[in-house]
């Protein structure tokens, strides 16, 4: 089974792509600040989930990488707050993206709390 079949990964990837599309609407002066940060954090969620799954034979590493994914997801939420505060992101759209991010967080925590369901030998 591939990490790409994980529901958490799929949802995180979808969110990262939505964030990428959103960042293209930000002003040019935000290219190396807000745009870069929000893209990097949202993509890091995906990469940490993939790394956790590939290292699932090591329970502590699995949990550690999922903790990293959860942290990066929280960072993405922070950048969404800044995008809204800077008036680059309408409140309605932010609510949708925030909800997607919260769903990703729940899925990550499900994986952390149920490692055996993901091939981790406990």
Judge whether 121 lies within some domain: no
**CATH label of the domain that carries residue 12:** 1.20.1440.60
Domain of residue 7: give its range.
3-113
Judge whether 59 lies within some domain: yes
119: left (phi over 0), alpha (psi -120 to 50) or beta: left
For the chain, 122 residues long, give each residue's pLDDT as a single digit of tens: 799 999 999 999 999 999 999 999 999 999 889 999 999 999 999 999 999 999 999 999 999 999 999 999 999 999 999 999 999 999 999 999 999 999 999 999 999 999 999 999 87
Judge whether 97 lies within some domain: yes
Total domains present in the chain: 1
Judge whether 30 lies within some domain: yes
Judge whether 120 lies within some domain: no
Output the pTM of the full model: 0.95
């Amino acid at each position: 089974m591939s990490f790409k079949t994980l529901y958490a990964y799929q949802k995180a990837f979808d969110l990262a792509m939505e964030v990428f599309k959103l960042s293209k609407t930000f002003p040019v002066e935000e290219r190396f600040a807000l745009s870069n940060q929000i893209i990097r954090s949202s993509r890091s969620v995906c990469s940490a989930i993939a790394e956790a799954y590939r290292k699932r034979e090591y329970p502590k590493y699995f949990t550690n990488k999922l903790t990293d994914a959860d942290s990066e997801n929280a960072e993405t939420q922070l950048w969404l707050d800044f995008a809204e505060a800077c008036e680059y992101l309408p409140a309605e759209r932010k609510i949708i993206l925030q909800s997607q991010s919260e769903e990703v967080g729940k899925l990550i925590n499900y994986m952390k709390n149920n490692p055996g369901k993901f091939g981790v030998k406990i």
